[in-house]
């Protein structure tokens, strides 16, 4: 039988994820597999927690990678904190805020929303008005909205919740590792991310972190967490303590890869990594604007790692993306929801955010558009 893996081509991943993976991370995937309760593997688990806390800027003891992609991290946060009838406010300005609403609704929460135009940020003043006279159990927002390229003002929203009983839940799937994330400084109680974006690790794990306040809510639920696989009250016993309790078989080699990916960020220096993303974003935007293309998001709200550019009138969206992939081995993303067919989403995440990749993409796009 023909082995299809022999014909997998190297593609420059410049879409909304996954991102390019560095050689040392690929090497880590091939390290000898250990048992999920092996003493040496537990040492690696403990180091992963330390590195994640550093990158998330938190002291939360329950800071771990969930076995699953970023969507599993989202489910883990909501399923552990919500009980039927809980009042939840979701701030929505893109696909992933909408997905939060869907998940919370499925869990039986009383979901309220505050919606903003896609391509525009959440407005703290309107959030403040919404919060007057009402306390929600959870207020949730996406930090980096991958569907639009907007950076939401999480710090400002966190200030509105200071001294309140509401738990603050934040999606950092696209932002973690690419721009500053300050979980404790912003007053965030539950946070989740993904490995396949700015961490430049293959998809398959979702870093999450819960404050002591959130952990107390989990441990004092009136009802069982409805999802056994993501039940933090049990999983915490595998990731903490001198005697680890088996919950499920961890994806050993994926955890090796995450460990190596986090080490690469720390070794380069977090500020240096953030600056690299910003510098290459600036170069990309300048190149696109020199070609007569227009960005969707205002400069002060743009994400450096996810760039949404408006598709020129009369241009075939699918044809351009197909030619980039087939002729130039470059992948970019399409628009979603109301932005489908209207924008391209160009990723500069993690290992992808390098000058040579920006130059290669701009040259290829210019050639494709000319044709």
Torsion, CA 49, CA 55, CA 57, CA 63, rounded to 10: -30
Q: Where are the domains of the chain?
A: 4-18+269-370, 24-266
Neighbours of 107 (CB within 10 A): 19
Distance of alpha carbon 110 from alpha carbon 137, whole angstroms: 10
pLDDT above 90 for 340: yes
* pLDDT tens digits, 222-265: 999 999 999 999 999 999 988 899 999 999 999 999 999 999 99
Confidence bin at 371 (pLDDT 50/70/90): confident
C-beta of residue 308 within 8 angstroms of C-beta of residue 148: yes
Q: What is the pLDDT of residues 170-224, one digit of tens each?
A: 999 999 999 999 999 999 999 999 999 999 999 999 999 999 999 999 999 999 9
Which pTM value belongs to this model? 0.97
What are 3-48's pLDDT values in tens digits? 999 999 999 999 999 999 999 999 999 999 999 999 999 999 999 9
How many Å apart are CA 230 and CA 235, to the nearest integer? Answer: 7
Backbone dihedral angles phi then psi of residue 150, each to the nearest 5 degrees: -95, 135
DSSP assignment string, 130-176: HHTT---SEEEEESEETTTTEEP-HHHHHHHTTTSSPEEEEE-TTTB
Looking at domain 24-266, its CATH class is alpha beta
Question: Helix crossing, 252-268 with 270-290: angle to 10°?
Answer: 80
Binned at pLDDT 50, 70 and 90, residue 320 comes out as very high
Say yes or no: domain 4-18+269-370 is CATH 2.60.40.10: no
């Amino acid at each position: 039988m023909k082995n299809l893996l022999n014909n997998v081509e190297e593609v420059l991943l410049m879409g909304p994820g996954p991102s390019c993976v560095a050689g040392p991370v690929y090497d880590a995937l091939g390290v000898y597999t250990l048992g999920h309760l092996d003493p040496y593997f537990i040492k690696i688990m403990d180091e992963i927690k330390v590195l994640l806390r550093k990158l998330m800027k938190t002291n939360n003891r329950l800071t771990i990678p969930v076995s699953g992609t970023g969507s599993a991290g989202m489910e883990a946060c909501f399923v552990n904190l919500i009980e039927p009838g809980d009042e939840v406010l979701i701030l929505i300005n893109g696909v992933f805020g909408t997905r939060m609403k869907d998940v919370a609704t499925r869990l039986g929460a009383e979901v309220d929303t505050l919606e903003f135009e896609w391509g525009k940020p959440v407005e703290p003043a309107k959030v403040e008005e919404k919060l007057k006279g009402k306390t929600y159990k959870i207020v949730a927002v996406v930090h980096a909205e991958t569907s639009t390229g907007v950076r939401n003002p999480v710090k400002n929203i966190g200030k509105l919740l200071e001294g309140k009983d509401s738990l603050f839940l934040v999606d950092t799937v696209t932002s973690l590792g690419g721009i500053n994330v300050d979980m404790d400084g912003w007053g965030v109680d539950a946070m989740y991310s993904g490995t396949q974006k700015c961490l430049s690790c293959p998809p398959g794990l979702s870093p999450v972190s819960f404050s002591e306040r959130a952990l107390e809510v989990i441990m004092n639920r009136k009802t069982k967490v409805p999802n056994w696989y993501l039940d933090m009250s049990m999983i915490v016993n595998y990731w903490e303590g001198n005697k680890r309790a088996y919950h499920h078989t961890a994806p050993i080699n994926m955890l090796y890869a995450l460990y190596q990916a986090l080490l690469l960020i720390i070794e380069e220096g977090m500020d240096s990594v953030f600056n690299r993303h910003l510098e290459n974003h600036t170069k990309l935007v300048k190149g696109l604007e020199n070609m007569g293309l227009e960005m969707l998001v205002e400069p002060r709200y743009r994400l450096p790692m996810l760039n949404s550019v408006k598709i020129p009138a009369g241009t075939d969206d699918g044809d351009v993306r197909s030619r980039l992939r087939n002729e130039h081995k470059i992948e970019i993303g399409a628009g979603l929801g109301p932005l489908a067919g209207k924008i391209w989403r160009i990723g500069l995440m993690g290992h992808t955010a390098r000058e040579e990749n920006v130059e290669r993409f701009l040259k290829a796009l210019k050639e494709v558009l000319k044709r």
